[in-house]
Amino acid sequence: MKIPISPAVVLASLLPALIVPSAFAEKKVKAAVKVASINPDLMKSRGMPDPGWTLRDNDGREIQAMLLSAHGDMVKIQRIDNEQEFDVPIAMFDSETKGRIRYWIKEDPEAVDYSLAISASRLLVNSTTTELSGRSFKKSEWGYQITIHNETRNELNGATVEYRIIYDDNVGFVRTQATPGKGENQRDGRTVSLPEMEFNDEIEFQTPTVEVETYEYVPNRGDREYLKDEIKGIWVRVVRHEEVIAEFRSNEAAMASMSWDDEEEVEITITNRFKESFGDNDG
């Protein structure tokens, strides 16, 4: 039978290598900082106003380290003297250090290592067919149901979800005539503000539809005429403070070589039209 090991036991096994008595730590780290190659701007972005942040545990032991990322009640740190990385419970630090870590998590957009599950399913919303002089003109409206689940043990706030539905526009209808479409890899997209999401929160919303047209004519003599638009898939990204923290592509094979926007082919319309899907009915 496998006996579970508590986080406290694991932490105790790391402490000799992770945290040393304060007097020794001060002397050792000061010597290390003189020769260490440290980017001050990077360290400042990690919550430190100087080339080293002293972290202190509940027993008064100290270490100088850089904060790398946070996830729930854990924080990843990197020692300044030897660049070793450790995942450490925030609860092990004294109250002053906890306060500084929480301030860093709040203020640094890149502090939290977010984990989001994104999925999307395609929906047929409407379909009509017109028969005229042996020619068939069919219009179908397709949308996507997008689901986002916060698997991070931290609150997600200040984020937006962006998506691009990518499709080939091969045909268009002008009255009773079929005409060439705009071409391949067209994009229809939106940006929607996300509500605050706590751990295990999940939101769903449906995108506006994209119209897909199909033209067919089978004459008694001559070749069959057939043109059809095709949806290739949807690309979804969650963005916070201009950083992409999660993304999803429904068709990796077809979309792997595509860029997010293709301005030569289509202009993307950005709107918050679907805020009401999240309960935000403000103008």
Label residue 20 by pLDDT band (50, 70, 90).
very low
Report the pLDDT value the prediction gives residue 8, as an integer from 0 to 100: 38
- What is the sign of the dihedral through the CA atoms of 90, 48, 41 and 80? negative
Report the pLDDT value the prediction gives residue 133, as an integer from 0 to 100: 87
- Among 18-32, 44-58, 164-178, the range of highest mean pLDDT: 164-178
DSSP string, 13-69: HHHHHH-B-HHHHHHHHHHHHHH----HHHHHHTT-SSS--EEEBTTS-EEEEEEEE
Label residue 41 by pLDDT band (50, 70, 90).
low
E runs forming strands in the chain: 54-56, 62-71, 74-79, 85-89, 116-132, 135-150, 159-174, 177-193, 202-206, 210-217, 225-228, 230-240, 243-249
Kindly report whether the global pTM for this prediction surpasses the value 0.85. Answer: no
Mean pLDDT within 269-279: 44
The answer to which of 36-45, 64-73, 110-119, 157-166 has the lowest mean pLDDT is: 36-45
* pLDDT of residue 219 exceeding 60: yes
Report the pLDDT value the prediction gives residue 69, as an integer from 0 to 100: 85
Report the pLDDT value the prediction gives residue 262, as an integer from 0 to 100: 66
Closest by CA to 159, choosing from 100, 241, 84, 220, is 241
Radius of gyration for the alpha carbons in the chain, expressed in angstroms and rounded: 27
| Topology, domain 16-107 | SH3 type barrels. (2.30.30)
| C-alpha distance from residue 135 to each of 131, 138, 177 (Å) | 6, 10, 10
Q: How far apart are CA 179 and CA 169, in angstroms?
A: 11
* pLDDT of residue 273 exceeding 80: no
* pLDDT of residue 169 exceeding 60: yes
Report the pLDDT value the prediction gives residue 275, as an integer from 0 to 100: 46
Residues 89, 76 contacting (CB under 8 angstroms): no
Token pair of 221 as six digits: 């003599």
Q: Taking all residues of the chain, what is their mean pLDDT, rounded to a whole number?
A: 78
* pLDDT of residue 90 exceeding 60: yes
Mean pLDDT within 55-63: 89
* pLDDT of residue 31 exceeding 50: no
Mean pLDDT within 81-109: 86
DSSP label at residue 93: B
Chain segment 223-265, per-residue pLDDT in tens: 999 999 999 999 999 998 888 999 999 999 888 888 898 644 3
Label residue 197 by pLDDT band (50, 70, 90).
very high
* pLDDT of residue 78 exceeding 70: yes
